[in-house]
C-alpha cells in the first residue's frame, strides 16, 4: 500500500462503475478518500486525469499518475494487493473465461439498460426488454456453472464477476418481475454484505 501513497477515488455515488471499484477497495481493506463528481459540471481534476474518456471512476494516487476505467482499476488493485481477498483464480484459462464474461457484462448486457431508458417507442422498448431477458438467461446459466451450488460466481466468497455484475443488480429489479432468476438471489447477499 505504501507504494501507492494516498489513494483518492474520483467518482459518483450513483455510478455502478464507481461502486464496483468501491467494493474492491473495501474487500481489500484499502483506505481511500472518495471525491464526488458532478456529471453536469465535471471538475478540472477529472478532465485532466481522464482526458480521453472524461468519466469516472478514476483512481488517483499521491505518487503516480491516475488509473482510469473500472475494470482496469480493479485489475490494478488485484495485482498490487494480491494477498487480501483475491478476486481472480490462479489458472490462466479460468482467468481468461472470467475476463470474457466481464467483457460480456460491460458490452453486451448493461448497455441495454441505457438504451432501454433512451428508447421512446413502445415497440423498441419491448424488443430491448426481450434482449435483456435473453442475456440475463445467459448470465443465469453462467452463474449456475461458476457458482456450482455456492452463493457466488467466486464460489464461497465474492469474486471478480460478483463485483463486476453486482454493481448493476439494483437496475435489474424489473427483470425480476418477469422471471425468477437465481442470479437475483445475489441481491439479498449484497444487501447483507453492505459493501457500500
Partner 1 sequence: MADSVKLYGTVLSAYVSRAKMALNLKGIKYENIEEDLSNKSTDLLKYNPVHKKVPVLVHNGKPISESLVIVEYIDDAWKGVPILPQDPYQRAVARFLAKFIDEKCVPAIKAVGTNGDDHQAIAEACAQLQVLENELKVKGTKFFGGDNIGLVDIAADFIAYWHGIREEAAGVTFFTKDKFPKLTKWADDFVNCQAVKNTLPPREQMLGFYMKFFGKVNGM
The DSSP line for 76-87 is HHHHH-TTSS--
The DSSP line for 140-177 is HHHHHHHHTTSSBTTBTS--HHHHHHHTTGGGGHHHHH
Query: How near is the Cβ of 107 to partner 1 at its closest, in Å?
Result: 9
End-to-end CA distance of the chain: 21
Q: Does 96 bind partner 1 (CB under 8 A)?
A: yes
Of the candidates 61, 71, 60, the one whose C-alpha atom is nearest the C-alpha of residue 4 is 61
Binding mask 127-156 for partner 1 (x = CB under 8 A): -----------x------------------
Kindly tell me which of 3 and 44 has the beta carbon lying closer to partner 1.
3
Q: Does 162 bind partner 1 (CB under 8 A)?
A: no
Q: Does 58 bind partner 1 (CB under 8 A)?
A: no
Give the chain's radius of gyration (CA, Å). Answer: 17
Say how many C-beta atoms besides its own lie within 10 A of residue 112's C-beta: 17
Q: Does 92 bind partner 1 (CB under 8 A)?
A: yes
Q: Does 182 bind partner 1 (CB under 8 A)?
A: no
The DSSP line for 102-147 is HHHIIIIIHHHHHHHHH--SHHHHHHHHHHHHHHHHHHHHHHHHHH
Q: Does 47 bind partner 1 (CB under 8 A)?
A: no
Kindly tell me which of 72 and 144 has the beta carbon lying closer to partner 1.
72
Of positions 14, 72, 84, 144, contacts partner 1 by CB under 8 A: 72
Q: Does 186 bind partner 1 (CB under 8 A)?
A: no
β-bridge mates for residue 35, sequence order: 10
Of positions 42, 85, 99, 129, contacts partner 1 by CB under 8 A: 99
**Residues in the site for partner 1, rule: CB under 8 A?**
52-53, 64-65, 67-69, 72-73, 75-76, 79-80, 92-93, 95-97, 99-100, 103-104, 138
Amino acid at each position: 500500500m505504501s507504494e501507492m501513497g494516498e489513494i483518492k477515488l474520483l467518482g459518483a455515488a450513483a455510478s455502478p462503475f464507481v461502486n464496483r471499484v468501491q467494493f474492491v477497495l473495501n474487500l481489500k481493506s484499502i483506505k481511500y478518500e472518495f471525491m464526488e463528481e458532478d456529471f453536469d459540471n465535471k471538475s478540472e481534476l477529472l478532465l485532466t486525469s481522464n482526458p480521453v474518456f472524461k468519466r469516472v471512476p478514476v483512481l488517483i494516487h499521491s505518487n503516480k499518475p491516475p488509473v482510469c476505467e473500472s475494470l482496469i482499476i480493479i485489475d490494478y488493485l488485484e495485482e498490487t494487493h494480491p494477498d487480501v481477498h483475491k478476486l481472480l483464480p490462479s489458472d490462466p484459462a479460468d482467468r481468461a473465461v472470467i475476463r470474457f464474461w466481464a467483457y460480456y457484462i460491460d458490452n453486451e448486457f448493461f448497455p441495454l439498460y441505457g438504451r432501454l431508458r433512451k428508447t421512446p417507442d413502445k415497440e423498441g422498448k419491448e424488443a430491448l426488454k426481450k434482449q435483456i431477458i435473453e442475456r440475463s438467461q445467459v448470465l443465469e446459466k453462467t452463474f449456475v456453472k461458476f457458482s456450482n451450488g455456492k452463493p457466488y460466481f467466486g464460489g464461497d466468497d465474492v469474486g471478480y464477476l460478483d463485483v463486476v455484475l453486482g454493481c448493476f443488480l439494483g437496475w435489474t429489479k424489473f427483470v425480476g418481475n418477469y422471471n425468477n432468476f437465481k442470479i437475483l438471489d445475489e441481491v439479498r447477499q449484497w444487501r447483507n454484505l453492505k459493501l457500500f
